[in-house]
Homo-oligomer: A and B are copies of this chain.
Amino acid sequence: MNFDIAPEDEAFRAEVRAFITAHLPPDIARRGQHDYHSAREDVQRWMRILNAKGWSAPHWPARFGGTDWSPLRKYIFQDELRRARAPVLDRCALDLLGPVLCTFGSPQQQARFLPPILNGDEWWCQGFSEPGSGSDLASLRTRADLDGDHYIVNGQKIWTSEAHYADWIFALVRTDQTVKPQAGISFLLIDMKSPGIVRRPIWSIDEGLTLNEVFFDNVRVPAENLIGEPGSGWGYAKFLLTHERTTSAVVSHTKRDVDQVRHLAAHARAGDGLLIDEPAFAAKLARLEAEVIALEWSVMRVLHAAEHDAAGNAVASLLKLRGSELSERAALLAAEALGDHGLAAMPDPEGHHILHGDGLSPGLTDDEAIGVTAKAMFRRATTIYGGASEIQRTLIAKSILGL
């Protein structure tokens, strides 16, 4: 056992940090302090900078434009991006679709779709959930029927993140109605500009737009856009959902948020002193910080565990459960730090998607304070999406404890 990080890895972190410092445009960095989803333009600019360096998708295999970094270095890279408040990249394309394409895609599909992802030219969204199949994917009903060399897609997807930005969607569709529910599902890539696709925004309680419904009405999709084998979609989806065992911890995000809370509390007056010196608040922040440390060291254990290591799986199973809880806690604490202003709506003043574009917001001058309450509301979703906490606990009980 050895819990020390190697000097070469420390040097790597310094290299990443130096690159980001030198290349992240200051205006993007400033907007990154705000607690909104980054606008597509910011993400795109930043992706092109990263792509020029070969760092768009370090976790992909090197031959597809990724790197051969160790899991720890991939983590350090992401960690430094969060530290710098760089825009969050197109996670659907990079983290979800990318590994599937690299592993199961045909050479033609890889050549067609991977490069535009790396350069931020084409954006993706994920079409898995449907109305009535929240955490129960096997029950999905969107169908794709073969008609010559095209599939005809009919149905509806919901909770589709960033569909309003997306150029493409990768969807689970039912291509065979005659077999057992999981066996009839295929993995299909669909151009969002296809006739018959309608997007409907789902405004969320933070008054922001990230989620959508997507309707398919006799949408024609070339059969060559099907990944791998028809009927194997369920397996690819499981691969995709389990491929990255540590990102669901969102630990670097929460580390950034803890720093944010500390900053806000150090600048918030409380009576004749500062909030950071209020013992009750300081203790809550310290507790959060300690839990984040425990979470990050859990990530370290998983990063260094062999893929099928039982102990590693036990630890991996807690990352989403606790990571999502801490993510919301951090946001709630940031709102609490703002005091009266932590109760105010803060629609993104520079965003493109505002439910109530009335510009009514308290007069905040600290970039770190802008958007805090929108984030606090949005984060209510963290313990719901991607397998709700109740599902996670049942999974742990059954798969780890054998109950």
Contacting residues of chain A (263-305) with chain B, CB-CB under 8 angstroms: 279-280, 283
Interface of chain A, main secondary structure: helix
Q: Give the shortest distance, in Å, between A276 (CB) and chain B (any CB).
A: 14
What distance in Å separates the Cβ of A62 from its nearest Cβ neighbour in chain B?
51
What distance in Å separates the Cβ of A352 from its nearest Cβ neighbour in chain B? 43
Chain B residue nearest to A278 in the complex (CB): B279
In the complex, what distance in Å separates the CA atom of A280 from the CA atom of B281?
Answer: 10
A280 to B283, CA, bound (A): 8
Complex-state Cα separation, A279 to B280, whole angstroms: 7
Which residue of chain B lies nearest to A280 when distances are taken between CB atoms in the complex?
A: B283
A235-282 interface with B by 8 A CB criterion: 279-280
Q: How far is the CB of A289 from chain B (nearest CB, A)?
A: 15
* A38–B279 alpha-carbon span in the complex (Å): 40
Whole-angstrom distance between the alpha carbons of A254 and B152 in the complex? 68
A283 contact set on B, CB distance < 8 A: 279-280
A277 to chain B, nearest CB (A): 11
Q: Whole-angstrom distance between the alpha carbons of A279 and B279 in the complex?
A: 6
A230 CB to nearest chain B CB (Å) = 42
Residues of B within 8 A of A280 (CB): 279-280, 283
A280 to B279 alpha-carbon distance, docked (Å): 7
* Residues in B neighbouring A279, C-beta threshold 8 A: 279-280, 283
* Distance of A346 from chain B, by nearest CB (Å): 29
How distant is A274 from chain B, measured CB to nearest CB, in Å?
Answer: 15
In the complex, the chain B residue whose C-beta lies closest to that of A283 is B280
In the docked arrangement, what's the CA distance between A279 and B270, Å? 15
Question: CA separation between A283 and B279, bound complex, in Å?
Answer: 10
A286, chain B: closest CB distance, angstroms = 10
A279 to B277, CA, bound (A): 11
Q: How far is the CA of A283 from the CA of B280 in the complex (A)?
A: 8
CB nearest to A279 among chain B residues: B279
Rounded to whole Å, the gap between the CB of A290 and the closest CB of chain B is 14
Closest chain B CB from A371 CB (angstroms): 30
> A152-196 toward B: CB 8 Å interface, digit per residue (1/0)?
000000000000000000000000000000000000000000000
Chain B nearest CB: distance from A272 CB in Å? 16
A287 → chain B, closest Cβ, in Å? 10
CA distance A283 to B283 in the complex (A): 11
A301-335: CB near B (< 8 Å → 1, else 0) gives 00000000000000000000000000000000000
Q: Which of A89-137 contact B (CB under 8 A)?
A: none
Q: How far is the CA of A283 from the CA of B282 in the complex (A)?
A: 13
> Complex: how many Å from CA A279 to CA B283?
10
A284: min CB distance to chain B, Å: 10
Against B, the Cβ 8 Å flags (1 = close, 0 = not) of A365-394 are: 000000000000000000000000000000
Least Cβ–Cβ distance between A17 and chain B, in angstroms: 36
What's the Cα separation between A283 and B47 when bound, in Å?
48
**5 A-B Cβ contacts within 8 A?**
A279-B279, A279-B280, A279-B283, A280-B280, A280-B283
Q: What are the 5 tightest A-B residue pairs by CB atom distance, in nearest-first order?
A: A279-B279, A280-B283, A279-B280, A280-B280, A279-B283
